[in-house]
Structure 1
Amino acid sequence: MTTLIDVFCAFFRIGLFGFGGGPTMIPLVHAEVVNRYHWMSDDEFSNVLAIGNTLPGPIATKMAGYIGYKVAGYTGMLLAVIAVAVPLVIVMVAGLSLLNQYRDMPWVSGMANGVIPVVSWMLAKLTWDFFAKGYKSLGITTACIMSVAAFALINLAGIHPGIIIAGILLAAMFKPAQPATQTES
């Protein structure tokens, strides 16, 4: 049974170790919510991430709020949002003060540069996991076309990812339902 302490601890860890902001927290949220506590399946997590990306505001707090609510009601929602935000505020205030004080020291730039490969790997793994899920459900050709189209629209045309996700969600809503396949007995 999930306790409020579990909700708080999970999101506190995410807030504490989420270097680089919202997108880098997504793999941490996935690790806690899907892998550690099993509060959601990969499919549910993907849906929350997709919807969360279409809404304004930081993704970490949106996901914390929804997941906290799903797991433990309104109290869980409040605890999750507080747990993910408090470490960020503390690290911002204390960290930036220290960073400004020691910014010319080589170890400060070494720390910052050392985190980059780890965060890059976390994002690459999450990207691969989502792509693999996409090609299993859509087929490799459709998944590749959609990936290339999303890359072009986001990076070349400068369209916000939330608009693309919203467009895909709307298209899926209005797509005619596929008839269920029947198995022979």
Structure 2
Amino acid sequence: MKTRGVSGQLFWAFFRVGIFGFGGGPAMIPLVRAEVVTRHQWLTDEEFADVLAIGNTLPGPIATKMPGYIGYRVGGITGCVAAVIAIIVPMIVAMIAMLGIFSRYRDVAWIRGMGQAVVPVVMVMMAQLTWDFFDKSQASLGWLVSAVMAIIAAGLIYWLGVHPGWVVGAILVAALLRPSGTKPTGSKKPEGPA
């Protein structure tokens, strides 16, 4: 019964994302974060950032990878299925309906303007998400390192045309191979006489 309740919560959370996620996968990321981190607190901001980074390195659309992983993590196989179905059904229905409307009424000015009006809203959502990630990055790495990494990543992606997955993958590999100078917190031995 508990699994069914969690699967239901996952379904409605990602159904909301699927309905309001205009602009495709990247535009859905702030909505996924709002549901998963803020509303339901299934993940912390750091865990969400990790899921997003790893999801971007894997092939396929981010709009289904993130719900699939988060659904599985929160509710197992049924949670994964519920989350993925919830996010793709509104997209499929909306795509069929919108393509029908656009092809029939494409010369009407308000139909053309409808798609253009969504762009500034998506831009603000993406800017907010970018600022949140940069804020968390500077808290753990510092302003200088965060800014330098952002500039290098932007240069590789936008000026040299390197796929973002390769950039994220290289950072993950570098982080895994980097020797750790500190011991884990749990391994400290108490001071004093034995």
TM-score range, shorter chain: over 0.9
SS across alignment from 1:177: coil
User: How many angstroms apart in 2 are the aligned matches of 1:179 and 1:86?
Assistant: 47
SS across alignment from 2:180: coil
CA radius of gyration, larger in:
2
Residue in 2 that maps onto 1:128: 131
Q: How does 1:67-82 map to 2 (within 5 A)?
A: 67-82=70-85
Residue in 2 that maps onto 1:87: 90
The farther-off stretch of 171-180 and 21-30 is 171-180
The letter of the residue matching 1:89 is I
Residue in 2 that maps onto 1:4: 7
User: How many angstroms apart in 2 are the aligned matches of 1:148 and 1:114?
Assistant: 30
Q: Please state how far the C-alpha of 1:3 moved relative to its aligned partner.
A: 2.2
Aligned length: 183
Give the TM-score taking structure 1 as reference length: 0.95
- Which of 57, 60, 84 is the aligned partner of 1:57? 60
The farther-off stretch of 109-118 and 37-46 is 109-118
Q: Please state how far the C-alpha of 1:5 moved relative to its aligned partner.
A: 1.3
Residue in 2 that maps onto 1:33: 36
| Sequence identity percentage | 53
Unaligned runs of 5+ in 1: none
- Which of 149, 153, 166 is the aligned partner of 1:150? 153
User: How many angstroms apart in 2 are the aligned matches of 1:39 and 1:99?
Assistant: 38
The letter of the residue matching 2:81 is L
User: How many angstroms apart in 1 are the aligned matches of 2:145 and 2:127?
Assistant: 20
SS across alignment from 2:162: coil
**4+ runs of 1 displaced by more than 6 Å?**
none
Deviation per CA, 1:81-106: give whole Å up to 9, x if none.
01000011001111111011111111
Q: How does 1:93-132 map to 2 (within 5 A)?
A: 93-132=96-135
Q: Please state how far the C-alpha of 1:109 moved relative to its aligned partner.
A: 1.7
User: How many angstroms apart in 2 are the aligned matches of 1:157 and 1:4?
Assistant: 43
Residue in 1 that maps onto 2:140: 137
User: How many angstroms apart in 2 are the aligned matches of 1:161 and 1:116?
Assistant: 22
Residue in 2 that maps onto 1:168: 171
Deviation per CA, 1:92-149: give whole Å up to 9, x if none.
1111110111111111122111101100000000001001111111111100000000
SS across alignment from 1:38: coil
User: How many angstroms apart in 1 are the aligned matches of 2:181 and 2:30?
Assistant: 32
Unaligned runs of 5+ in 2: none
What root-mean-square deviation, in Å, do the aligned CA atoms of Structure 1 and Structure 2 show? 1.5
User: How many angstroms apart in 2 are the aligned matches of 1:16 and 1:179?
Assistant: 45
Deviation per CA, 1:12-54: give whole Å up to 9, x if none.
1111111111100000000000001010000110000000000
Say whether residues 1:17 and 2:25 are aligned partners: no
SS across alignment from 2:135: helix
